[in-house]
Amino acid sequence: DDLFQPELPIDALMPTSLENAMEVARDNNPLLKQAKADVEAANAQYHAAKSPFGPRLDVEGGMTDYDNTAGVEGPSDDRYIMLRMRWNIFRGGADMARLGETKQLSYEAMEINKRTLMQLDQSTALSWNTLVSVRERLPNLKQHVDSALATRDAYTLQFSIGQRTLIDLLDTENEYYTSTVEYVNGQYLELFAGYRLMADMGRLLHSLGVQHLVDTDATQRVGWTNPWSRSDYAEPLKQIPVAQAEEATAEEAALVPESDAAEQGEAAPGN
């Protein structure tokens, strides 16, 4: 009685075509976003590794005051401003090795990005085609179930008046069972394909009504009660908002004497 029938994601999130599904997937899929970010990071490292090969220009200025120095009595001062260029001609090959390393890392990141994009397109197409195919089959599977049920009921009635044998009745029962299994499998295949398509498109959490942790308000996050604050250790732990749990823990720590806190620390597992 506690079981419930899962449902497909809301229709507003479902794509209207394969092209639309692929477009959304390329924009929102987290694995592809990660691969693109890795490419950008690798390219940034490569450009940073190229910087030592060029000249460096610095504007420098300074002022120095002297008094009775170098055998000269009295004050003296130096003031200067200059444009200084530094150019590293050779540093033992370290810069060249670093440049080659970052170049290979950049190529590797680009290949991973291409492979991720190809796999995403294949997975999205497979999920979409499976969803479309099973939705086309479901009406026929349902019709098969209804026909098998009607046949079974008719054979049961005929068996009761001696017009059908027990073998005939068992055959119809088996046909009804088989058709029902195929129909239920089709329903869950539709669910699986729909949710897999949502995952490919980066909309799975949204379709389930789950917020990303980074977008969740701290007062809405859920934690657990302090296990050592229970008067009865048989009492199960309860879920409470994280902010409330942290506040309660801080208050309890302020009220516990140092000796009691040490005893609790010794009793806690892992300490």
pLDDT at 271: 40
Largest CA distance in the chain: 137
Q: What confidence tier does 14 reach under pLDDT thresholds 50, 70, 90?
A: confident
- The tens digit of pLDDT for each residue in 245-254 reads 455 555 544 5
Q: For residue 158, what are its two tokens?
A: 């005929």
Q: What percent of the chain has pLDDT over 90?
A: 42
User: Does residue 209 register a pLDDT over 80?
Assistant: no
Select the more confidently predicted residue: 68 or 195: 195
Asked whether the whole model's pTM tops 0.85, one would answer no
Is the confidence at residue 27, as pLDDT, over 60? yes
Looking at the predicted structure, is the pLDDT value of residue 65 above 50? yes
pLDDT at 186 over 90: yes
Burial 217-235 (b: 16+ CB within 10 A, else e): eeeeeebebeeeeeeeeee
> Which token pair is 170?
């068992």
Q: What is the pLDDT of residue 206?
A: 77
- Is residue 256 predicted with pLDDT exceeding 50? no
List, for residues 32-49, the tens digit of each pLDDT value: 999 999 999 999 999 988
Q: What value does the mean pLDDT take over residues 186-207? A: 88
The model's confidence at residue 264, banded by pLDDT at 50, 70 and 90, is very low
Reported as a single tens digit per residue, the pLDDT across 152-181 is 999 999 988 888 889 999 999 999 999 999
Greater confidence (143 vs 219) lies with 143
Helix or strand holding residue 68 (H, E): strand 56-69
The structure tokens listed for 106 are 């950049």
Higher pLDDT, 4 or 133: 133
Q: What is the mean pLDDT of residues 84-105?
A: 87
pLDDT of the residue at 64:
84
Radius of gyration (C-alpha) of the chain in whole angstroms: 36
List of domains in the chain: 11-47+92-207 (1.20.1600.10), 217-267 (no CATH)
